[in-house]
Amino acid sequence: MAEFQYILGIIGAGNMSGAITDGILRVGKLDPKRIIVGDIDAEKLDRLKKSGFAVTSDNKFLAENSQNVLFAVKPQVFESAANEIKSGIKAEAVLSVMAGVGTAKLAAFFANPIKICRVMPNTPCMIGKGICALTFAGYSDGEKKFVFDIFDALGETVELSEEKFDAVTAVSGSGPAYVYSFIDAVIKGGVEKGLTFGEAKKLTVSVFKGAAELAERSEKSLDELIKNVASKGGTTEAALKIFAERGVADGIREGVFAAAERSKELGK
């Protein structure tokens, strides 16, 4: 087996890469000195270096010296990044957090057999409260532990078949933006009815956190939980009636469908 200077090389130092390196530091299962991050932003690399990570602006060097290479770049620049390192990659596995880039597309760029892991994270991973869906190609069960050690540090993880990843992208990948949109609308409604922005934000965000945790813990269905709040002829029923008349639920569902279709298009 080849000897590698680094156990993990991360291409890209953006938000999700930062969530990964922060999680690694927070949990402490992996030595940052055995992890190298590649980017052209000297300021970002300097911050990572101060946290104990190795850094480089040369992705080919990263690819030649890393046992596992993780792509944490936008899917639109994947091919240029892959072509940059293709001739020098010696890694045993390639990992990706890029939306819409499938395992077959990843494998096509690199010599087979190479292990591939595709991950769909979301932005709450940046505070250790996210969820990551993972799918593997070519991994034994024992080999998956290294990957779970990385992504368990970002919140929760779930292993799913790749055929479900367009739906995963639409639900959990894009999902935080749906929640922020709903929070924003509720806050604005509260402000228009006399609350200050700070008051409305505190109340609304607290409601979402508490309701989400209750939904997770309760054995009741979501319909039952709704009925527990919406007494007949009351204030909640009045609001839900407007939501139904305006087709809010249908609009959200159709938005999820559109996100899933876009994920499929990006993967072609």
| Residue-level pLDDT at 245 | 97
- Residue 118 to residue 98: CA distance in whole angstroms: 8
In the chain, pLDDT over 70 holds for what percent of residues?
A: 98
Q: Can you tell me the mean pLDDT for 70-92?
A: 87
Average pLDDT across the chain, whole number: 93
Q: What is the pLDDT of residues 190-221, one digit of tens each?
A: 999 999 999 999 999 999 999 999 999 999 99
| Residue-level pLDDT at 108 | 85
Q: What is the pLDDT of residues 20-68, one digit of tens each?
A: 999 999 988 899 999 999 999 999 999 999 999 999 999 999 999 999 9
The residue type at 227: K
Range of weakest confidence among 99-103, 117-121, 246-250 = 99-103
pLDDT band at 112 (very low <50, low <70, confident <90, very high): low
**Which domains does the chain possess?**
8-165 (3.40.50.720), 175-266 (1.10.3730.10)
Beta carbons of 175 and 121 less than 8 angstroms apart = no
Q: What is the pLDDT of residues 147-181, one digit of tens each?
A: 999 999 999 999 999 999 999 999 999 999 999 99
Q: Do the bridges between strand 115-120 and strand 130-137 make them parallel or antiparallel, or are there none, so unpaired?
A: antiparallel
- Residue 191 to residue 185: CA distance in whole angstroms: 10
The residue type at 264: K
pTM assigned to the model: 0.89
| Residue-level pLDDT at 2 | 63
Residue of 81 and 230 predicted with greater confidence:
230
Q: Can you tell me the mean pLDDT for 86-107?
A: 87
User: What is the DSSP track for the chain?
Assistant: ----SBSEEEE--SHHHHHHHHHHHHH--S-GGGEEEE-S-HHHHHHHHHTT-EEES-HHHHHHHBSEEEE-S-GGGHHHHHHHHGGG---SEEEE--TT--HHHHHHHSPSS-EEEEEE--GGGGGT-EEEEEEEES--TTTHHHHHHHHGGGEEEEE--GGGHHHHIIIIISHHHHHHHHHHHHHHHHHHTT--HHHHHHHHHHHHHHHHHHHHH-SS-HHHHHHHH--TTSHHHHHHHHHHHTTHHHHHHHHHHHHHHHHHHHT-
